[in-house]
Amino acid sequence: MRIGELAERAGVSTRTLRYYESRGLLPAADRGANGHRVYGDDALRLVAQIRTLQDFGFELEDTRPFVECLRAGHPAGDSCPDARAVYRRKIAELDGLMAELRAARDHLTAQLARAEALPAPCGAGGTDGDVPLCGG
């Protein structure tokens, strides 16, 4: 298939495909008699793998072991040890981020509890319309 068809089927731009090719993630396309790039069906599978991983937050370079696994003829991009190592690293990163988010949430929850324990400021009305009077 030509580059435009691959781009359309993969949901990316032709520029993106050329970039993947320049980075070695997509094998150099064959050239037709007219000089146009011609890709095999395997290129669609590689691009789909890259896009799926990027949708999960993987950096482009992190997709390389998965692509290399597919290019080596394995049935799935994550069936090779190097790809699984990337999964492990990404999971560890997410675990760290989740711990940071839990700590931030706990801090905010404590701040809210502290703030709610304070007396209402003068002139601030509650939901029932009560307005504390100040200074008599």
List the CATH number of the domain containing 16: 1.10.1660.10
In a domain, residue 130? The reply is no
Residues in the chain: 136
**Residue 75 — very low, low, confident or very high, per pLDDT cuts 50/70/90?**
very high
What are 37's strand-pairing partners? 31
Domains of the chain: total: 1
Q: Does the pLDDT of residue 136 top 60, yes or no?
A: no
Stated pTM of the model? 0.75
Domain boundaries, position 57? 3-115
Predicted confidence band at 32 (pLDDT cuts at 50, 70, 90)? confident
Judge whether 17 lies within some domain. Answer: yes
